[in-house]
Amino acid sequence: MHTDKNQELACTLVDGAYIKQGIEALNARHNLVTKLLSQRRMPDVGWDDASIEYLLTQLSLMDSNNFSGNVGVGEREARIYCGLVRRRSYHFGHGIGRSGDVSAVQPKAAGSSLIVQIATSMMLGLIKDSGILNAKAALIMPCATGLSLALTMMTLKQQKRPALARYVIWSRIDQKSCFKSMLTAGFVPYVVETVLVGDELQTDVPAIREAIETLGPENVVCVLTTTSCFAPRAADSVEDVAHLCKELNVGHVINNAYGLQISKCCHIINQACRVGRVDAFVQSTDKNLMVPVGGAIVASPDKKFVQSVSENYPGRASMYPIMDVFMTMLSMGKSGWKELLNRRKQLFPYCLEQLNVVAEKYGERVLVSKGNTISIAMSLGNLCLEGGKSTSYLGSMLFTRGVSGTRVAYNESKKVIGGFKFSAWGMNSNIYPVPYMTVAVSVGTTRKEIDEFLQRLDKALKKMFDDQAKAAAVAKPGIATLQGTGDASDKTI
């Protein structure tokens, strides 16, 4: 129906008024596409699924593997054997990029290349809308956060650091992918422990300065800091570190894994970009935008550096992570994204308050971590009766009861990663005085999920306290112990 002739012929078959109405509906979808191509930003209001599929169909027909009568005689012609795979991929098969640049335009894939360019522009707009106004460029990577961090640090080494630089100074955050990103890139991690202030683990900025001066700035690739993390660890003091890196001429990469949804993280990154040195900040697509695992976003206040990361990626890459993000941003629209952020922000204090009620019932408490506004930690000191065994058992109890995402941390948890030994892995510190569990209020979480989690946690804690009481009664008959309520405050001797 794209031509007047087609419309005229259609009117010979169906009443002209009905055809006109149908054409107007098609034109409404054309106008959405026109606006997207001209503005290259997330739509104010999200698109319906039919409009998204309509656009994808048009774009896929622009790729050579879908040309009518195309003859492919190369070694890579986007042939897809399985019909299920072909439909799942919306007939996109060429992937993205070329051998020398993952964001380069492909001659055989005009439609795929358009998706990459529009999605990249929309993503930069989303980052700015989230509060990082100093971001100047973004790149949606076809690999998850850990590998994207490794590629970013490798690019930094190649582009901006002396040939002998091999150390990455790491403000400790017990996330394995973050630590392994340094090892995968071929660098030597220099671990700087956090400091305990009240309940909260904070960045030891003086120790980072000392590490740079001890190793020699010319031998340091970068400082790797983290914003989004598990309580009671606070987001790193990225603004102070940015000042330090600018002063000593050392690179600075920020692991902002799920920080786009957190206004505080976005604010401190924006400030760090403004007043100091930030080479790049890297975030996950699945954690922030609710898409399947497989992508990440490398962003920076330096356009040339982002382009260097793109050029450093070897070969072509999968279309899936970029297409998932593209479709999701169209579906959300700015209004949907802001609504999700506001809802998460409102649910966080609700979860904190209600978790504290459960904690007090068993003689525990929510650990105070004002520098973390997505994760909440609750002490588990009354459960730690057998060197952490009971504490770790709580995590498995919750998982078997259909609760995912909670983390239980205790001092006896040991881990060896690439030859580096951690004696209290998961606690973000070797000196934290009490075991704890964490729960996160991330984007997409609902109040119903929080309420159901608290009920299941209550039942699990009650069972554990009852079991401990029975074990104590068997060990020491005649001593009255907690019976039935699970309330540690009722224990009598």
- pLDDT tens across 298-354, in order? 999 999 999 999 999 888 888 889 999 999 999 999 999 999 999 999 999 999 999
With bands split at pLDDT 50, 70 and 90, how would you rate the model's confidence at 450?
A: very high
> How many structural domains does the chain have?
3
Shared-domain flag, residues 198 and 129: yes
Residues 33 and 142 occupy one common structural domain: no
Lowest mean pLDDT among 158-172, 191-205, 246-260: 158-172
Q: How many helices (H) and strands (E) does the chain have?
A: 15, 14
Average pLDDT, the chain: 89
Buried b (16+ CB within 10 A) or exposed e, 245-274: beebebbbbbbbbbbbbbbbbbebbbbbbe
CB 18 within 8 A of CB 12: no
pLDDT tens for each residue of 376-420:
999 998 876 544 456 778 888 888 889 888 888 887 778 898 889
Per-residue pLDDT reduced to its tens digit, 256-292: 999 999 999 999 999 999 999 999 999 999 999 999 9
**Helix, strand or coil, per DSSP, at residue 239:** helix
Instruction: Give the pLDDT score at 27.
Output: 87
Does some domain include residue 306? yes
> Coil, strand or helix: which one is 366?
strand
Neighbours of 40 (CB within 10 A): 15
Examine the domain organization and report whether 350 and 464 are in the same domain. yes
Same domain, residue pair 328 and 391: no
How far, CA to CA in Å, does 96 sit from each of 63, 91, 125?
11, 14, 21
Structure tokens at 226: 């983290």
Query: Are both 262 and 124 inside the same structural domain?
Result: yes
Please tell me the pTM assigned to this model.
Answer: 0.90
Judge whether 2 lies within some domain.
yes
For 63-109, the pLDDT digits (tens) are 888 778 777 776 677 788 888 888 888 888 888 877 767 887 877 78
Closest CA to 152 of 278, 333, 262, 56: 278
CB 438 within 8 A of CB 231: yes
Residue with tokens 């590629």: 151
Neighbours of 403 (CB within 10 A): 17
Domain CATH number, residue 154: 3.40.640.10
Alpha-carbon separation of residue 42 from 128, 438, 469 (angstroms): 12, 34, 57
Is residue 402 within 8 Å of 456, Cβ to Cβ? yes
Closest CA relative to residue 267, chosen from 302, 231, 224, 237:
237
Q: Which two tokens stand for residue 383?
A: 């459960």
User: Considering the domain boundaries, does residue 17 fall inside one?
Assistant: yes
DSSP 415: E
Dihedral sign (CA 56, 59, 61, 65): negative
Q: What gap in Å lies between CA 303 and CA 401, rounded to an integer?
A: 47
Largest alpha-carbon pair distance within the chain? 96
Residue in the block written with tokens 């008024």: 17
Determine the pLDDT at residue 465: 81
Tokens 């790149």 correspond to what residue? 139
Domain boundary among 282, 304, 332: 332
Q: Is the pLDDT of residue 359 over 80?
A: yes
- The letter for the amino acid at 182 is M
Residue 71 lies in a domain: no
Cis peptide before 232 (omega within 30 of 0): yes
**Residue given tokens 């009664």 in the structure block:** 473
The string of DSSP codes covering 438-476 is EEE--TT--HHHHHHHHHHHHHHHHHHHHHHHHHHHHHS
Q: Which pair of structure tokens corresponds to residue 274? A: 């403004």
Residues 262 and 356 in one domain: no
CB atoms near residue 120 (< 10 Å)? 22
5 inside domain = yes
**Residues 321 and 342 both lie in one domain:** no
DSSP 3-state of 218: helix
**How high is the pLDDT of residue 486?**
40
> Phi, psi at residue 28, to the nearest 5°?
-60, -40
Instruction: Read off the pLDDT band of 197 (50, 70, 90).
Output: very high
* pLDDT score recorded for residue 479: 43
Range of the domain at 351: 337-490
Strands 296-300 and 280-284: antiparallel
Q: Are residues 373 and 250 in the same domain?
A: no
- Quote the pLDDT of residue 303: 96
Exposed, middle or buried, 466 (CB in 10 Å: 0-12/13-18/19+)? middle
CA distance 48 to 347: 27
The Cα–Cα gap between 413 and 399 comes to 18
- What pLDDT digit, counting tens, does each position of 131-160 carry? 999 999 999 999 999 999 999 999 999 987
Q: 200 — phi, psi (to 5°)?
A: -95, 140
Residue where a domain terminates, one of 302, 332, 362: 332
Q: Is residue 42 part of a domain?
A: no
> Beta partners for 417?
420
- CATH no. for residue 375? 3.90.1150.10
**Based on the domain organization, do 131 and 263 belong to the same domain?**
yes
| 348 and 443 together in one domain | yes
Question: Do residues 273 and 254 lie in contact, with contact meaning Cβ atoms separated by under 8 Å?
Answer: no
Q: What is the pLDDT of residues 217-242, one digit of tens each?
A: 999 999 999 999 999 999 999 999 99
Per the DSSP assignment, residues forming a β-bridge with 304 are none
